């Protein structure tokens, strides 16, 4: 690990410790009958002015994870006007049921879909119970997308645009960086450059000792990163547009399905059942390497995308925090 990486890791460790202290202090205040508004400033300093106890408020876990994961972009997290909020570039974004909105739009939260801050699980993909109600929803979604219908629900993009400093294709073309990953050239956001390099170092170190990993890497045909586009079947911007997602594409899928919609379009009705639709597999050591670098794997989503990895350190932070707890 280089000196820069060690410094960044040290900063993150300090932030995690401060956030743990912050949560402990807010609980202590609540138990003693005192109200407190907890804040963490740009230097990681923790403050406890008087106000409403923030612990019961929605979004605390997610807001703190974002603050710890992007210290160079998010300068503060605190409870403002009865709701958790984040400060970035002098602007405040309120939790608003996961929409992360400016104050002027808080009362219009129902007009937007939430930003996905996944409750991710580390390690092997978990087994998910598919209830009759959920199966009905999945069937409806399958019919809509198979018929070419578009999900018109909007996401308020300003928070993500500010986080990644990308609000247009021109911004993205200027900001993304060219990198080599496992022998393939692609482009990613600067925030993802070193994490992706860490993933590559881990995979290369594993390859000589794990035949499944070596075969997987040798069978790759391309690595796709930045691509200015919407999520398929929606009007919402893909994380590929920010350069924080990468797809690993093989030379052959061998008759398997890497993506839920491809399985559905192939006529597999219960595509959500892994025993019904044979899924293209990524070796677990590769998934582990990506997760250690701050990436989540789309193969763990209900609407699975086994090709896809996203740099989402906030989701990894929450997963590790829950595990530690």
* Boundaries of every domain in the chain: 3-111, 132-324
SS3 82: coil
What would the two tokens of residue 197 be?
């390099």
pLDDT of residue 54: 45
Other beta carbons within 10 Å of 166:
25
Going by DSSP bridges, is the β-strand pair 245-250/295-297 parallel, antiparallel, or unpaired? unpaired
Distance of CA 133 to the CA centre of its chain: 27
Asked if the model's pLDDT at residue 16 lies above 70, the reply is: no
Helix (H) or strand (E) holding 3: helix 3-31
For residues 217 and 182, is the Cβ–Cβ distance under 8 A?
A: yes
Give pTM, 2 decimals: 0.82
Burial classification of residue 61, based on how many CB atoms lie within 10 Å of its CB (0-12 exposed, 13-18 middle, 19 or more buried) = middle
What would the two tokens of residue 221 be?
């045909």
Q: Among the ranges 22-31, 75-84, 134-143, which has the highest mean pLDDT value? A: 75-84
For residues 250 and 282, is the Cβ–Cβ distance under 8 A?
A: no
- pLDDT tens track for 47-93: 334 344 545 799 999 999 999 999 999 999 999 999 999 999 999 99
For residues 243 and 172, is the Cβ–Cβ distance under 8 A?
A: yes
- pLDDT tens track for 212-247: 999 999 999 999 999 999 888 888 999 999 999 999
The residue that leads in pLDDT, 74 or 40, is 74
For residues 263 and 180, is the Cβ–Cβ distance under 8 A?
A: no
Average pLDDT, rounded, for the chain: 85
pLDDT of residue 119: 86
Q: Is the dihedral of CA 211, 214, 217, 218 positive or negative?
A: negative
- pLDDT tens track for 146-201: 777 777 888 999 999 999 999 999 999 999 999 999 999 999 999 999 999 999 99
- Determine the average pLDDT of the residues in 309-317: 97
What residue has token string 């992706």? Answer: 196
pLDDT of residue 3: 46
pLDDT of residue 148: 72
Tell me the C-alpha distance between 129 and 219, whole Å.
Answer: 33
- In the chain, what is the straight-line distance between the N-terminal and C-terminal CA atoms, in Å? 28
pLDDT of residue 323: 63
The residue that leads in pLDDT, 144 or 302, is 302
15 pLDDT band, cuts 50/70/90, is: low
Going by DSSP bridges, is the β-strand pair 220-224/245-250 parallel, antiparallel, or unpaired? antiparallel
The residue that leads in pLDDT, 49 or 312, is 312
């Amino acid at each position: 690990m280089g000196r820069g990486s060690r410094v960044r890791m040290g900063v993150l460790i300090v932030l995690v410790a401060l956030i743990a202290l912050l949560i402990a202090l807010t609980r202590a205040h609540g138990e003693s009958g005192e109200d407190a508004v907890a804040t963490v400033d740009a230097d990681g300093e923790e403050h406890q002015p008087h106000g409403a106890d923030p612990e019961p408020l929605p979004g605390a876990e997610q807001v703190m994870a974002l603050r710890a994961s992007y210290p160079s972009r998010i300068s503060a997290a605190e409870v403002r006007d009865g709701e958790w909020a984040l400060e970035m570039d002098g602007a405040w974004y309120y939790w608003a049921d996961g929409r992360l909105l400016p104050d002027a739009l808080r009362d219009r939260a129902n007009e937007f879909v939430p930003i996905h801050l996944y409750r991710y699980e580390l390690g092997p993909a978990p087994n998910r119970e598919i209830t009759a109600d959920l199966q009905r929803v999945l069937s409806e979604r399958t019919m809509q997308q198979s018929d070419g219908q578009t999900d018109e629900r909007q996401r308020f993009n300003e928070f993500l645009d500010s986080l990644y400093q990308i609000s247009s294709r021109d911004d993205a073309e200027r900001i993304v960086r060219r990198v080599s990953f496992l022998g393939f050239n692609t482009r990613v956001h600067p925030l993802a450059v070193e994490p992706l390099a860490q993933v590559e170092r881990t995979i290369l170190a594993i390859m000589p000792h794990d035949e499944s990993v070596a075969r997987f890497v040798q069978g790759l045909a391309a690595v796709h990163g930045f691509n200015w586009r919407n999520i398929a079947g929606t009007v919402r911007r893909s994380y590929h547009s920010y350069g924080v997602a990468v797809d690993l594409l093989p030379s052959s899928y061998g008759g398997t399905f890497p993506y839920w919609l491809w399985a559905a379009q192939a006529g597999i009705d219960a595509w959500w059942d892994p025993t019904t639709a044979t899924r293209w597999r990524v070796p677990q050591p590769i998934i582990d390497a990506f997760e250690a670098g701050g990436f989540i794997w789309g193969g763990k989503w209900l609407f699975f995308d086994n090709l896809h990895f996203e740099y989402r350190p906030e989701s990894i932070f929450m997963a590790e925090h829950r595990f530690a707890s």
